[in-house]
Structure 1
Amino acid sequence: MNEALFLCYARCSTCTKARKWLDGHGVAYTERDIKGENPNAEELAAWHRASGLPVRRFFNTSGRLYREMGLKDRLPSMTDGEAIDLLATDGMLVKRPLLVVPSADGGDPSVLVGFREPQWEQALA
């Protein structure tokens, strides 16, 4: 299996737990700082499609920037494209950690948004 892409923020305690989980389960990954190297709109659009999740699940709803921008009220009226373009402007808007696991057959990757151990266990089995 190709290496997974682990997008995280160094000061995020959930990201630290997820990293320990990945290391403890021998998962090969490339780590990318979500603030220093924010995902671009093209990446986010591909991950959104592959995940099957609503685009709002990609937002860090507990973040300061999310609250300051009033996104709770603004998101419902945005198109997916507008929301993805907004996410691409600042890594602190993106829910973390984000794990992108390549498919063994070259198809769509598995995209895990946030750290939920049972979900990660299933995706990486």
Structure 2
Amino acid sequence: MTITMYGIKNCDTVKKARVWLEGRGIGYNFHDYRVDGLDAPTLARWRDALGWEKLLNKSSATFRDLPAADKEGLDADKATGLMLAHPTMIKRPVLDVDGRFMVGFKPDLYEKFVEEA
């Protein structure tokens, strides 16, 4: 089983998810997309699996600070472009377990998701 967690190192939710995995002795790779970047094919896989609406964090400061024109008429392509340009708008963490994806962190959902792998 290969697990990769995508997020930002200093995000509180990412920290909780990392502690959860480490506390159970579950090995994983961490990809900080603020430092390491995020490519279009990876984001497209997430979007196709989860939906852009689930990935785009409209309550993030980055999204709220966008000009109104950037927030209007959102669709998959426009949202994907915004998330590539500003990865901090992506809800986090994104967990990739052997090509299955989950966004956010809730301990009970993580338990089930990892067990199914």
Asked if TM exceeds 0.5, the reply is yes
Residue 81 of structure 2 corresponds to residue 85 of structure 1: yes
Amino acid in structure 2 at the alignment position of 1:123: F
User: What is the aligned partner in structure 2 of residue 99 from structure 1?
Assistant: 95
Distance 1:124 1:25 in 2: 11
Number of equivalenced pairs: 114
Aligned identity (percent) is 29
Cα deviation per residue 1:46-82 (whole Å; 9 max; x = unaligned)? Answer: 12222xx3312112333211100157x826x222122
Among residues 117, 120, 123, which one is paired with 2:107 in the alignment?
Answer: 117
Unaligned runs of 5+ in 1: 103-108
Amino acid in structure 1 at the alignment position of 2:102: L
Unaligned runs of 5+ in 2: none
Residue 10 of structure 2 corresponds to residue 14 of structure 1: no
Contact 1:38 1:90 in 2 (8 A): no
State the TM-score, normalizing by the size of structure 1.
0.80
Report the RMSD for the aligned CA atoms in angstroms. 1.9
